Amino acid sequence: MSVRQSLLAILAQGPCYGYQLRHEFDRRTGSVWPLNVGQIYNTLERLERDALVSRGTADERGHVYWEITDAGSLEVERWLATAVERGQATRDELAIKVAVAATLPGADVAAVVDAQRDASSRHRDVLRRLRESGEDESPEGLARSLVLDGMLFSADAELRWLDHVQQRLTDHPQHTLALELNPDRPKRGRPAKSIDAALV
Amino acid sequence: MSVRQSLLAILAQGPCYGYQLRHEFDRRTGSVWPLNVGQIYNTLERLERDALVSRGTADERGHVYWEITDAGSLEVERWLATAVERGQATRDELAIKVAVAATLPGADVAAVVDAQRDASSRHRDVLRRLRESGEDESPEGLARSLVLDGMLFSADAELRWLDHVQQRLTDHPQHTLALELNPDRPKRGRPAKSIDAALV
DNA sequence: CGACACATGTAACACGTTACATGATTTG
DNA sequence: CAAATCATGTAACGTGTTACATGTGTCG
C-alpha cells in the first residue's frame, strides 16, 4: 500500500501528472527505491476507480493532471493519523527462512546464517557509502539521509539478530531445534478448550 | 514469496497434506503469523503448476498428500543457499511514510512520528510479553523465541530510528525539509550526461 | 444435537512488477 | 540523424488475502 498512499499524499499537495509523480516520489524518498513509471499510471487508475483522485483534461502540452478528491484528502489525513501496524500480519522473509531452516532436519542453518550475514554486511556497507556520499543540506538531501538512516538501523538490527541466532545455535545445536513431520496426528473434533488468548 | 518457499521447504522433508502444512508452518514459525488455510491450497496449486510439487492420490482418510519433485528439491536448495536480498527493491512502508510526510508542507511530521512511536512502543511491549510467556526448551519454543527475538530487534531499531528522526527534526524544522511541487519543470530531451552510478 | 475443529477447495480481488507500444522533444 | 529522456498508457502476471461453500468427525 505504500506506493498507493504516497502518490495520493503527494497529490494532496496539488495536481500532478503521471511522470511528475515519479519525480516527486523519488525526491521525497531519496531516490532509494526505483519506481517503474508504468506503476504510476496503474496506481492512478486504481485510485480513480476508488474515487480518491480524478483525472483532469490534458493541458496544451499534453500533460494529464490528476487531482485529489475530498474523499482522497480524507484518506490522506487518515493515513497520516494512523500508525503503521507492524507485527500482526507483517511476515518477515528472513525470519521465516531462518526459522524454517532451523527446524528442518535436512538443512544446515549455520550455513544459511553465515551466508546471510555476509550479504547483510555488504548491504550495510553499500548503505553507509550511499549515506556518506552526497552529504547535502538541501531538503532532498535531508530526506534522503533520513531514509538511509532508517535502512541502516534496520540493517544493524538484522546483523545483530543474525549474530544472536548464531550464538543461540552454538548453545542449542540444530538437533534440538529440528522438527520431525507430523509428530502427533491431530485428532478431529472439538478440542479441550484451548487456554490461549492470554496476552493481548 | 515467503509462504511459497516455506511450504516447499517443509515438503522437502516429506509428503504432507494441506491442513498439515499449516500446522507445520505454525510450529516452525512460532505461531506468530496467522496463515489462512485457503492460501495453502492456493499456493500448492501454484507450486504444482510450476512443477515443484505433485499432487498424490487421497489416502483412505481423504487426506491429499503432496510430494516435492526433483525440481522442487533443487529450488529449496537454491533458496537455502541464496541470501535474502534486502535494500534494492524492498520498500519500507514506515520509512516512505515518514519521508513523504516530512517533505509535505501541509503535514505535521512530528505528530506522525509521535503517534508511530506510541504504536511501535506498544507493539514492542506485546512482543516482550509474548517472548517471556511460555519460556520453553522444546524445539517449538526455541524456534518461537528465535522469531520473536528477530521481531524485537526490528522493533528496537524502529524505535531508535523514530527517536533519531525526532532529534533531527528539532535540529532541522520541517520547513527546511518541505518540498514544493514541481520546483523546476524538467526539460524534455537529452540531459547533460548525468554523473551518476558513482557507487555500487 | 450443536458447536467446533478438521479438511479441501473455489473465486475474486488487491497491490506490485514488468514488458511492451507509441510518440514527442531535445541535444550531441 | 541518433540517442536519450519525457510522457502516457496497456496487458499480463505473481504473490498474498479473504470470503465462501461443503462436508466429516468428535466432544460436551
CA distance B40 to chain A (A): 16
Question: What local confidence, expressed as pLDDT, does residue B194 receive?
Answer: 39
- Ordered by start, the domain boundaries in chain A are 3-81, 89-177
pLDDT band at A58 (very low <50, low <70, confident <90, very high): confident
- Reduced to 3 states (helix: H, G, I; strand: E, B; else coil), residue B169 is helix
Asked if A142 and B177 come within 8 Å (Cβ–Cβ), the reply is yes
Find residues 2-41 of chain A whose CB sits inside 8 Å of chain B: 2-3, 5-6, 9-10, 12-14, 16, 20, 23-24, 27-30, 33-34
CATH code of the domain made up of B3-81: 1.10.10.10
Distance (Å, rounded) from C-alpha A181 to C-alpha B23? 10
Enclosing H/E stretch for B44:
helix B37-49
CB-based contact A112:A95 (threshold 8 Å): no
User: What confidence tens digit (pLDDT) does each residue in B119-161 have?
Assistant: 999 999 999 999 998 778 888 899 999 999 999 999 999 999 9
pLDDT band at B68 (very low <50, low <70, confident <90, very high): very high
Residues B17-28 have a mean pLDDT of 96
Residue nearest C2 (alpha carbon to C1'): A190
Q: Is the pLDDT of residue A195 over 50?
A: no
Residues A117-124 have a mean pLDDT of 96
pLDDT band at A197 (very low <50, low <70, confident <90, very high): very low
Question: What local confidence, expressed as pLDDT, does residue B186 receive?
Answer: 57
Question: What local confidence, expressed as pLDDT, does residue A86 receive?
Answer: 84
Question: What local confidence, expressed as pLDDT, does residue A137 receive?
Answer: 85
Grid cell at residue A35:
519506481
Query: Which residue bears the cell 534494492?
Result: B88
Distance (Å, rounded) from C-alpha A105 to C-alpha A116? 19
Distance (Å, rounded) from C-alpha B111 to C-alpha B102? 11
Give percent of chain A with pLDDT exceeding 70: 90
Distance (Å, rounded) from C-alpha B111 to C-alpha B117? 10
Protein CA B67 to sugar C1' C6 (Å): 21
Q: Is the pLDDT of residue B107 over 60?
A: yes
Question: What local confidence, expressed as pLDDT, does residue B134 receive?
Answer: 72
B110 interface with A at CB cutoff 8 Å: no
User: What confidence tens digit (pLDDT) does each residue in A25-44 have?
Assistant: 999 999 999 999 999 999 99
Asked if B83 and A119 come within 8 Å (Cβ–Cβ), the reply is yes
